[in-house]
Each structure stands twice: as structure tokens, then as C-alpha cells.
């Protein structure tokens, strides 16, 4: 491509306009790249998108913005300025028919248990806590990790039903899932917090979060605006149908509208689309190991059930967890409790997340059947009356988040090594890199990738650079 007469600019093609892709494109455009973002949907944002439905602005699931990556939070503040709200975080979990605060306070937990349950739980947990430092047991999966740190009683009572409802069978999940999502109890830390009233060295539970006044999609919309201001393009309703390679590089990309881009010199392709989708349109077939590995990298799908209620509000919480198997959804969030600017004053919307595997019986169930079951569960949970419902609708997210099972590291390594054969290709993000993170984490991945490209370091260093993506820690 040419710009400013005869001055040639390096080109960057970015597949996918979610938070990761837009962040990478924005940074590359800032540094003089001729940027083109291609998005198959007719909107930008990926899962960080805010849907306008009548008088409502609705996110695709709850999005709280909190991160220990300070520079990302500064960027978000710079993008939205006065359109950012600071909210007190309020969440609960339903256990034995009672709602208690989440993350669970041990004192509250005891109040919802029967005496014999509470006794077993406390004794087993304290035994595990005291003896954990005396044994060096090797753990191989999520189940073993949790039992090793919290005891089998607490695992069976709380952790297992919640985890398996969201992620799948615990013994098939990797240790990494637990390490990035669960705080490890430590006697010294507990003593400092409870007795000495000192703050923990590492934050595991944020008391507040920030949130855009008109929905999380404001962030990705702003990044799109910045890209366009810098001369880049963001094309929605367009997707790649063929990726051609030549001499160890991506050389041409053909699109669904018949157009194409040729990549030359230091031009790059940054892909945030599902890895299998990318491999399927490449002109070189993968070897059997790579094909098996990409097929084995599983993802969790979500059905979002939105219900409009003819009441000003239903709960005081941002979200509520429902671990019991008899309840079809695992989490509920009320959009208005993130920002009152997203909903009219006299009505509210609650959204239930139904997790499943793509194309399993739940995914293929009729919308009416899922709605009936959801309403019955909401009634039994004491949250709504059917006569207060105005309308309902559903959205499906087939690639909601990657499943970090016990084999995912090896499978991901195999797939990434296949992509590494092409020195101008970068596959990143939730779907492109199997990295589970929130909006700030995804933006960080995009910026890190762009900075690596800008640095002109040899592509052989990329493997070490992307290891940074494995350090994200989920703060509740």
C-alpha cells in the first residue's frame, strides 16, 4: 500500500474486532502502520459489545472493569473520561435456599449450612490448612489442587458443583484454572488480615470496579474511532475465506466480498478469530498432530437468556451465582446495577447465563423450552413473578471462553508452533490464543503484540514474548 505519495507504509491486517484485535490495531496505527480490521459481525467489540434493545443497552454478560495492570486502566480512563462510573461490587451466591455474599465469607457460610455440614466443613478445612505446609503432594488437575488446599468436604460441598456447572468435570480441568481464579488460604495471611487488620499483598477480591455509563461497548467503540482517526479502516460484515502463504509468510488474504490484500515485506497478519477457523482457510493443510491438537482445544459456549421485567429492579446485586444442578443457569446479572443509564427507570432486564458445549443437547434445545425452565427456576429462587415479565429473547455465544483442561497446554503449544512457521502471523486473544481474560487483559494482549511487531524483533522471540499472556489473574 502507498500513502503520502510514494512513501510506502507497512500494512497490518487484523482479523476480529474484539478488544484484543482493536487494541493491537490501534497501537499499530499509532506507530504508522496502514491498518485494516476485518470483522465478520456487523458490529465491533466481540463479547465486549453492548446491544441496543428498545430502551435498553445490554452487555453480552456482566463486565466489571478492574485490573492490576495500571497502564490499561489509565488508557480506559483516557478513552472514556467522565463517562466512567465507579461502582461498589455486590454479588451473591444461592446455597441451601439462602443468598450469601460472594466471594464467600466463612462466617456467612456457616449460617447456611446444617450443623453437621458446618462442623465437617470447618474441621476438614482447618486440618487441610494446618497440614498443607507439611506435605509436598504433586497435583495433576483442578480437583486435586482444590482438595489439597481446601479439603475434600468443602470441595464436594461448594467447589465441585459450581465449577462443573460452568467449566465441566473437575478432574479433566487443568491446575492453571485453579491457580488463576482461586485464592490459596495461608495461615499467616489470614492472621494478618483478621487480627492485625492488614491488607493482603495480592488483591483477590476488588470492592469496587469501574464501568462505562452506556455499556462496555463504549470502550471498543472508542478504539474503533481512534483507529479511523489515524487513517485505518474497520470493515464489519466481512470475513476471510482464504489465507495464502509463500516462503514461510502469509502472502495474500481473500475476503467474502471477493476483495483481497497482498502482504509484502514487513506486513503482518494479526488473527483473533478461532484457531480452527484460521487453519481451515489456510492454503497449507496442517499435519495430523496439529489437526488433532486444534480439535482438542475445547471452548465453552453460553446461551444468554434476557428477560424484561415490568419493575424498577429485581436485585441489588451486579450478579448472583447458582451452583445447584437443578437450576439451568449458573449466573444472573442485572444490567441496571452496573449503570442506571442503560435502562429506563420503570423497567429492568435480568440476563441468565446458561453454559454448555457447542451443539450439545442444551445448545440445541428450543428457545421456548429453555425459557420455561428458566422462569420456573427464577420463581423457585424467589426472584420474579411470571406476570411481571414483558418479553424475553436469547443470544448464543459459541466461542464464549477456552476450557483449560489438563491437556490444553500441550495442545496449544502444538497449534502455536504450527502458526510460528509463518513469520508475519500472530494468533492471539481468547479465541486466537486460548487465553481467558477480561477486557483489560485482552487489551493488554493486543498492545503487547503490537509493541513486539513495532520493535522489529525477530519472530523467533515471539514465543517467549507471548508467555506474558499466561500471567493474567482473575480478580473477583
Tens of pLDDT along 80-110? 999 999 999 999 999 888 898 887 776 777 7
Identify whether residues 282 and 410 lie together within a single domain: yes
**Residue 471, pLDDT score:** 81
Identify whether residues 200 and 222 lie together within a single domain: no
Tens of pLDDT along 249-302? 999 999 999 999 999 999 999 999 999 999 999 998 899 999 999 999 999 999
List the beta strands (DSSP E) in 277-414.
299-309, 319-321, 331-334, 348-356, 389-402
**Residue 122, pLDDT score:** 79
With the C-alpha atoms ordered 326, 329, 330, 335, is the resulting torsion angle positive or negative?
negative
Categorize the per-residue pLDDT at 139 as very low, low, confident or very high, splitting at 50, 70 and 90: confident
Identify whether residues 322 and 338 lie together within a single domain: yes
**Residue 473, pLDDT score:** 74
Identify whether residues 280 and 419 lie together within a single domain: yes
Q: Which residues pair with 7 in a beta bridge?
A: 3
Identify whether residues 171 and 129 lie together within a single domain: yes
Q: Is 55 a domain residue?
A: no
Q: Which whole number is the average pLDDT over 224-237?
A: 98
Question: What residues contact 224, with CB distance under 8 A and at least 6 apart?
Answer: 17, 22, 37, 44, 234
Identify whether residues 259 and 115 lie together within a single domain: no
Q: Is 115 a domain residue?
A: yes
Range of the domain at 378: 299-402
Query: 3-class DSSP state for residue 18?
Result: strand
Q: Is 54 a domain residue?
A: no
Identify whether residues 388 and 418 lie together within a single domain: no
Q: Is 95 a domain residue?
A: no
Identify whether residues 396 and 413 lie together within a single domain: no
Categorize the per-residue pLDDT at 228 as very low, low, confident or very high, splitting at 50, 70 and 90: very high
**Residue 154, pLDDT score:** 81
Query: Residues 390-407, buried b or exposed e (16+ Cβ, 10 A)?
Result: eebebeebebbbbbbbbe
* 322: pLDDT strictly greater than 70: yes
Task: Say which CATH number the domain at 233 has.
Answer: 3.50.50.60
Domain boundary among 204, 227, 251: 204
Categorize the per-residue pLDDT at 186 as very low, low, confident or very high, splitting at 50, 70 and 90: low
150 — phi, psi (to 5°)?
A: -125, -10
The grid cell for 380 is 423457585
Domain boundary among 183, 204, 225: 204
Identify whether residues 303 and 397 lie together within a single domain: yes
Categorize the per-residue pLDDT at 2 as very low, low, confident or very high, splitting at 50, 70 and 90: very low
The grid cell for 43 is 458490529
Judged by average pLDDT, the poorest of 11-25, 32-46, 139-153, 173-187 is: 173-187
Categorize the per-residue pLDDT at 133 as very low, low, confident or very high, splitting at 50, 70 and 90: low
**Residue 254, pLDDT score:** 98
* 316: pLDDT strictly greater than 70: yes
Specify the number of domains making up the chain: 3
Categorize the per-residue pLDDT at 194 as very low, low, confident or very high, splitting at 50, 70 and 90: very low
Q: How far apart are CA 352 and CA 378, in angstroms?
A: 10
Judged by average pLDDT, the poorest of 75-79, 149-153, 272-276 is: 149-153
Categorize the per-residue pLDDT at 156 as very low, low, confident or very high, splitting at 50, 70 and 90: confident
The grid cell for 100 is 450469601
* 5: pLDDT strictly greater than 60: no
Identify whether residues 409 and 281 lie together within a single domain: yes
Q: How far apart are CA 187 and CA 193, in angstroms?
A: 10
Task: Say which CATH number the domain at 333 has.
Answer: 3.90.660.20
- Tell which wins on pLDDT, 192 or 137: 137
Q: Which whole number is the average pLDDT over 231-235?
A: 97
Identify whether residues 273 and 315 lie together within a single domain: no
Tens of pLDDT along 337-346? 999 999 999 9
Q: Is 93 a domain residue?
A: no
**Rounded percentage of the chain residues whose pLDDT exceeds 70:** 92
Domain boundary among 150, 179, 204: 204
- For residue 308, what are the CA distances in angstroms to 254, 314, 334, 378, 394? 42, 11, 10, 13, 12
Identify whether residues 354 and 224 lie together within a single domain: no
Q: Is 60 a domain residue?
A: no
Categorize the per-residue pLDDT at 467 as very low, low, confident or very high, splitting at 50, 70 and 90: very high
Amino acid at each position: 500500500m502507498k500513502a503520502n505519495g510514494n512513501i510506502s507504509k507497512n500494512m497490518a491486517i487484523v482479523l476480529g474486532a474484539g478488544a484484543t484485535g482493536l487494541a493491537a490495531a490501534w497501537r499499530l496505527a499509532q506507530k504508522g502502520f496502514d491498518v485494516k480490521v476485518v470483522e465478520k459481525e456487523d458490529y465491533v467489540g466481540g463479547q465486549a459489545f453492548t446491544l441496543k434493545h428498545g430502551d435498553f443497552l445490554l452487555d453480552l454478560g456482566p463486565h466489571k472493569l478492574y485490573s492490576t495492570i495500571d497502564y490499561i486502566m489509565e488508557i480506559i480512563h483516557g478513552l472514556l473520561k467522565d463517562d466512567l462510573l465507579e461502582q461498589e461490587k455486590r454479588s451473591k451466591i444461592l446455597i441451601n435456599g439462602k443468598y450469601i455474599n460472594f466471594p464467600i465469607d466463612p462466617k456467612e457460610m456457616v449460617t447456611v449450612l446444617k450443623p453437621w455440614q458446618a462442623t465437617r466443613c470447618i474441621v476438614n478445612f482447618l486440618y487441610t490448612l494446618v497440614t498443607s505446609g507439611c506435605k509436598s503432594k504433586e497435583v495433576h488437575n483442578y480437583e486435586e489442587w482444590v482438595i489439597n488446599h481446601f479439603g475434600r468436604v468443602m470441595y464436594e460441598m461448594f467447589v465441585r458443583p459450581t465449577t462443573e456447572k460452568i467449566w465441566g468435570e473437575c478432574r479433566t480441568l487443568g491446575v492453571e484454572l485453579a491457580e488463576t481464579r482461586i485464592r490459596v488460604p495461608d495461615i499467616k495471611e489470614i492472621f494478618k488480615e483478621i487480627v492485625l487488620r492488614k491488607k493482603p499483598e495480592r488483591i483477590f477480591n476488588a470492592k469496587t470496579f469501574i464501568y462505562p455509563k452506556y455499556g462496555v461497548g463504549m470502550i471498543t467503540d472508542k478504539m474503533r474511532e481512534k483507529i479511523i482517526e489515524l487513517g485505518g479502516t474497520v470493515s464489519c460484515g466481512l470475513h476471510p475465506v482464504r489465507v495464502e502463504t509463500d516462503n514461510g509468510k502469509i502472502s495474500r488474504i481473500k475476503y467474502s466480498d471477493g476483495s483481497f490484500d497482498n502482504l509484502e515485506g514487513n506486513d503482518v497478519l494479526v488473527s483473533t478469530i478461532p484457531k480452527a477457523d484460521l487453519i481451515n482457510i489456510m492454503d497449507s493443510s496442517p499435519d495430523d498432530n496439529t489437526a488433532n491438537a486444534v480439535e482438542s482445544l475445547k471452548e465453552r459456549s453460553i446461551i444468554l437468556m434476557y428477560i424484561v421485567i415490568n419493575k424498577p429492579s429485581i436485585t441489588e446485586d451486579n450478579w448472583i451465582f447458582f451452583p445447584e444442578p437443578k437450576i439451568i443457569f449458573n449466573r444472573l446479572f442485572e444490567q441496571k446495577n452496573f449503570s442506571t443509564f442503560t435502562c429506563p427507570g420503570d423497567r429492568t432486564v435480568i440476563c441468565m447465563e446458561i453454559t454448555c458445549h457447542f451443539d450439545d443437547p442444551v445448545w440445541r434445545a428450543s428457545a421456548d423450552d429453555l425459557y420455561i425452565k428458566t422462569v420456573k427456576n427464577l420463581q423457585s429462587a424467589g426472584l420474579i413473578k411470571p406476570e411481571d415479565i414483558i418479553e424475553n429473547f436469547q443470544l448464543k455465544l459459541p466461542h464464549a471462553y477456552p476450557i483449560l483442561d489438563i491437556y490444553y497446554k500441550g495442545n496449544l503449544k502444538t497449534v502455536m508452533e504450527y502458526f510460528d512457521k509463518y513469520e508475519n502471523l500472530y494468533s492471539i486473544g481468547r479465541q486466537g490464543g486460548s487465553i481467558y481474560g477480561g477486557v483489560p487483559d485482552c487489551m493488554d494482549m493486543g498492545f503487547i503484540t503490537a509493541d513486539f511487531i513495532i520493535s522489529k524483533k525477530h519472530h523467533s522471540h515471539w514465543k517467549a514474548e507471548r508467555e506474558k499472556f499466561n500471567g493474567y489473574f482473575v480478580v473477583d
